[in-house]
Amino acid sequence: MSNLSSHTKFKPVILDVLPDFPISGQRCAVRLQQRIDLLLLAIEALERGASEQMLKTIQQLQLQEIIKNRIILWRLRCTNPLRRSYTRESLTIIQAKALVIIANHQAKPLTVQIRQLLLAEKQMRQKRLPVNCHFLLAEYLDQFRAHFQSRMNPRRAKVSVYLTSNDELNKLALFLLKQLLFCTGTTGIQRFWISLFDGEIA
């Protein structure tokens, strides 16, 4: 049994905002694990100190029985197969819910910033200018690129594609911004959660 499982016996009430699905073995698909970790990576690129803030959020939302400390948080995020430190473990439904709720909680105060960045992207496209011509947008993209390069495994084919093309990596970073904005909208967290299971529900 996975060592991560011992941290999921207690189920905080806040997890009930997200529906349960009849998933085989109650273990999440690697694609889902990848999407959640990348969403958290985008938050880290948006906000300095976001990793430390995640630990505070865990306490605020009373999720510490699921994610007891920074090591457990790191190990849960390393279920993303693109990571250098990929653990080959699977998230439980409860762990996945906790991470999505953390992402939603931290993205909400950043909503104005996210909207401004997406508006800047639209303006750059309309002017036929590279997206990194906008100072604030360039700052976010640079931060995301730095995090991605330092944490993802370049031997993975998908990672290699991103690392050899700034344009592709920028597209990923901007897509994640749109996902974060989607999460902060009315019932956005529920709709995002449901989208993670497309094609996975038995």
Instruction: Please tell me the distance from the alpha carbon of residue 52 to that of residue 80, in angstroms, as a whole number.
Output: 20
First vs last Cα of the chain: how many Å apart? Answer: 23
What's the confidence (pLDDT) of residue 8?
46
Tens digits of per-residue pLDDT, 16-52?
999 987 665 567 889 999 999 999 999 999 999 999 9
Lowest-pLDDT choice from 42-46, 52-56, 185-189: 185-189
Q: How many CB atoms lie within 10 A of CB 96?
A: 26
Alpha-carbon distances, residue 2 vs 6, 76, 88, 89, 197 (angstroms): 8, 11, 10, 7, 22
What's the confidence (pLDDT) of residue 27?
73
Q: What is the CA radius of gyration of the chain?
A: 17
Average of per-residue pLDDT values in the chain:
90
From 197, 152, 47, select the one nearest 109 (Cα to Cα). Answer: 47
Alpha-carbon dihedral angle through residues 7, 192, 62, 49, given to the nearest 10 degrees: 100
Across the chain, the runs of DSSP E, i.e. the strands, are: none
Segment 152-158 long-range contacts (CB within 8 Å, at least 24 positions apart): 152/82, 152/83, 152/84, 153/82, 153/83, 153/84, 153/86, 156/81, 156/82, 158/82
Name the residue with tokens 């999440």: 28
Tens digits of per-residue pLDDT, 64-108?
999 999 999 999 999 999 999 999 899 999 999 999 999 999 999
